[in-house]
Structure 1
Amino acid sequence: MTKYLGLHETLDLHELLSFKNLCLTKATTMSVLAVDAELKAILSADVTTGTQHIQQLQQFLTNRRENS
């Protein structure tokens, strides 16, 4: 599947990866500053899912390079 990605799709993946990295950085930083336990739990869950999403996006880009 990934070997059929076009240039614009690859660029979109890079843009998405940059956005997800920014979100992960913000969630990590804010979780340290948060006082409310529920908010800390939400931010912690966001960090976990954000990390998974970043790994998936990186796999798409890595597989793209290997299959080209």
Structure 2
Amino acid sequence: MDKEMLALHETLETHEIINFKTVCLLRSKLMQGICFNNELKELMEKDVKQTIQDINELLPFYKQSQLLH
């Protein structure tokens, strides 16, 4: 049986989401370095961990991409 593949627009949307999440991740990591409020730093660290988890969940969809086949 053939593997299920994403349509081109789904692939592009997945790519856009991953790019957006990556920019958010980089920004949170950068802001942690210049933040002096410990509560805010902890909140940003939670955001970083969640964003990494989100990106890792999205990456397998690239294996279903028509662009790779």
**TM tier, smaller:** 0.7 to 0.9
For 2:36 and 2:4, the matched residues in 1 are separated by 46
1:40 paired residue number: 41
Structure with the larger helix share = 1
Whole-Å separation in 2 of the counterparts to 1:35 and 1:3: 48
Runs of 4+ in 1 over 2 A off after TM superposition: none
User: What is the Cα deviation at residue 3 of structure 1?
Assistant: 2.1
The count of residues paired between Structure 1 and Structure 2 equals: 64
Q: Secondary structure at the match of 1:3?
A: coil
Where structure 1 has 5 or more consecutive residues not aligned to the other structure, the ranges are: none
Larger radius of gyration: 2
| Paired amino acid for 1:15 | E
Aligned with 2:36: secondary structure?
Answer: coil
Pairwise CA RMSD of aligned residues? 1.5
Structure 2 unmatched ranges of 5 or more = none
For 2:49 and 2:60, the matched residues in 1 are separated by: 17
Where does residue 27 of structure 2 map in the other structure? Answer: 26
Secondary structure, counterpart of 2:59 in structure 1: helix
TM-score, normalising length from structure 2?
0.84
